[in-house]
Chain A
Amino acid sequence: MTPTSKPFLGRGLAAALTCLGLGAVGPHAAHAQETPATAAPPASLKVERGDALYGRPENGAAVKLAPVAGPPLATPVAKLPLDKLKVPDGFKIEVYASGIANAREMTQAPDGTLFVGTRTVGKVYAVLPQAGADGKREIKTIASGLHRPNGVAFHDGALYVAELSKIWRYDDIEKHLDSPEKPALVYDDLPKDEAHGWKFIAIGPDNKLYVPVGSPGNILMPPDTHAQIRRIDLDGKNAEVIARGVRNTVGFDWNPKTKQLWFTDNGRDWVSEDIPNDELNVLTEPGKQHFGFPFCHQGTFTDPEYGWGHSCAEFTPPVGLLGPHTASLGMRFYTGTMFPEAYHDAIFIAQHGSWNRTTKLGGAVVVAKPGADGMVAAVEPFLTGFLQDNKYVGRPVDVLVAKDGSLLVSDDYNGAIYRVSYGH
């Protein structure tokens, strides 16, 4: 008998299990399940003040605010909030795929197969491109039992999947959707902190893998290994830090004209209902820029605790502000031709929506239109309606310009993907 099995094998319980036909399960199951396969690794770093609520004032309204994860089961298609979702005139929104619990980052293969990562359910899905006679697209679960496999990136026939602290490559994935080959480990020199540990990943025009490492808590002095974006060769070698002072980016893309990296960054909590804004940043000098965290927020004010002795002038300011606590996550430049001219080279941004705010903000896809000066000229609502009466009926996580120029939007609250198209 093992220590873990002991509490479950009291005489009374054994009797209860036996009368339920479960007698055979007890001791053997307890023993057999002591495998480390799905147990999370211990944290590599003991972080002080590493939880989401650090910094909260002891005040009646503030204590009611806390992040709440969405459900583990996908919403049935008939109950999706499609009738509440609004797009601009001339655009149309429909359900692209449903039954994809906790759908997060998306990436698309040349044949149209869509790969989708998850944060809380440990799975990676493939959505087949052709809808069946019933109008539904088949979903295949290509991996399960992973630890927060939020990040997916398709490149040269292979699917790269980012767990919390490991990045894997599934070769020739399109031909192996039913039984993927054992993945190759690409890179695992990553911290194991749960806070901001899940990852958005992408492969740049330089054929390198871009991997963020978030701050291991709301507001703290991050170790040298955190609050940054790294660039790594596709074989996992030559990792280098290309951006520092990045609190938690869960979305980035390359400007199709300049090839520069643009990224969203989630601002800290508990300063105020109204500041700081989430940021939209541009990396112009890889390896040389610091984007402010934890010293300066939104480019305009120094942190009440860590900002003393610093000035925001020391850091690279954002090119756009995305609203306080909006949880601006996935972002992509519009590189298709289906949408009108005004959207070409504009940036679509999925805002998961706030928790650290009494009146919720976000829960939408917005479009940031760049001005002639390289800054963002305007941030406009594009897909709205996920927030109803200060409650979420859905939460956008990522946007993706599909091969046909439509925009796909993932919703981890409902486990669904929507398609926004223009014209016929």
Chain B
Amino acid sequence: MRPMRRRRAALGLVSALGTLLAGAAGAAPEAATHELLAPCVACHGAGTSETEGIPSLGGQLPDYVVTQLFQFREKQREAPPMNDVAAEFSDDDLRAYADAVATLPPPTRTGAPADPALTERAQALVAKHQCTSCHGADLAGRESIPRIRAQREEYLAKALTGYKSNARPGYDPAMNEVAQELSEADIKDLAAYVSRL
């Protein structure tokens, strides 16, 4: 029975979204985006996630978001409940959500900045592994490469661990390649530092 229940739930969500999309056509763009984002924001927050294990989406560019939604739909990246949420999305749905998510403001850090010892270790790792080559000098991302600064610490650690073990195959293998060389201590330092930027 489990698969049926999952499918019914996913279909229910899709029809609700369909209504939202249809209803949004005539409304002001901001209102349409706001409605579209309601289910996303419920878990992810309006830019900054307050929930353990759930990433902040604020400040991500549409190319990155559409790629992740695609990977959820195709089950290339397993991250429940997102695989079920995206299961019935059309390509146009993926584009619409990606554009909407990209309007969320970048996440804000509330805790203390990294201490000098951590900063020194992590900056050496950032330089060694050339994180800024793809993610940009301020780690704010570009094109299909995500913003990682001020992302949740435990989410960053989980992502790097997943890349290292290949449990999370990247859309492009770049992160799987680079993560092979990271130790557990490296991952801890990188996550702690980047989340505090």
A68/B145 in contact, CB under 8 A: yes
Within 8 A of B (CB), among A1-43: 4-8, 10, 12-13, 16-17, 19-26, 28-33, 38-43
Which of B43, B67, B180 makes the CB contact (< 8 A) with A72? B67
- Chain B interface residue count: which class? 35 or more
A40/B83 in contact, CB under 8 A: no
B23 sits at the interface (CB 8 A): no
B2/A32 in contact, CB under 8 A: yes
Q: Name the residue of chain B whose CB is nearest to the CB of A62.
A: B133
B186 sits at the interface (CB 8 A): no
Given A10-B52, A46-B180: A73 and B81 interface contact (C-beta under 8 Å):
no
B166 sits at the interface (CB 8 A): yes
Q: Which of A28, A31, A38, A41 gathers the greatest number of chain B CB atoms within 10 Å?
A: A28
Which of A7, A17, A39, A74 makes the CB contact (< 8 A) with B78? A39
B156 sits at the interface (CB 8 A): no
Question: CA A33 – CA B80 in complex, angstroms?
Answer: 8
**13 pairs, CB–CB < 8 Å, chain A vs chain B:** A8-B54, A13-B43, A25-B80, A31-B2, A33-B80, A40-B166, A43-B180, A47-B180, A64-B133, A69-B174, A71-B144, A145-B74, A194-B166
Question: CA A8 – CA B80 in complex, angstroms?
Answer: 8
Q: Mark A90-115, 1 if CB is under 8 A from B, else 0.
A: 00000000000000000000000000
A133 sits at the interface (CB 8 A): no
Give chain A residues whose Cβ lies under 8 Å from the Cβ of B9: 21-25
B29 sits at the interface (CB 8 A): no
B109 sits at the interface (CB 8 A): no
Question: CA A42 – CA B145 in complex, angstroms?
Answer: 23
B173/A21 in contact, CB under 8 A: no
Give chain A residues whose Cβ lies under 8 Å from the Cβ of B169: 39-40, 147, 194
A222 sits at the interface (CB 8 A): no
Given A42-B166, A56-B130, A71-B63: A24 and B5 interface contact (C-beta under 8 Å):
yes
B174/A39 in contact, CB under 8 A: no
Point out residues on B near A: beta carbons under 8 Å: 2-3, 5-6, 8-10, 12-13, 16, 39, 42-43, 51-54, 63, 66-67, 70-71, 74-76, 78, 80-81, 83-85, 91, 94-95, 127, 129-130, 132-134, 137, 143-145, 154, 158, 165-167, 169, 171-174, 176-178, 180-181
Question: CA A239 – CA B6 in complex, angstroms?
Answer: 45
A52 sits at the interface (CB 8 A): yes
A120 sits at the interface (CB 8 A): yes
A389 sits at the interface (CB 8 A): no
Question: CA A234 – CA B57 in complex, angstroms?
Answer: 48
Question: CA A33 – CA B9 in complex, angstroms?
Answer: 15
A20/B76 in contact, CB under 8 A: no
B176/A194 in contact, CB under 8 A: yes
- CB B82 to nearest CB in A, in angstroms, measures 9
- CB B128 to nearest CB in A, in angstroms, measures 10
B144/A68 in contact, CB under 8 A: yes
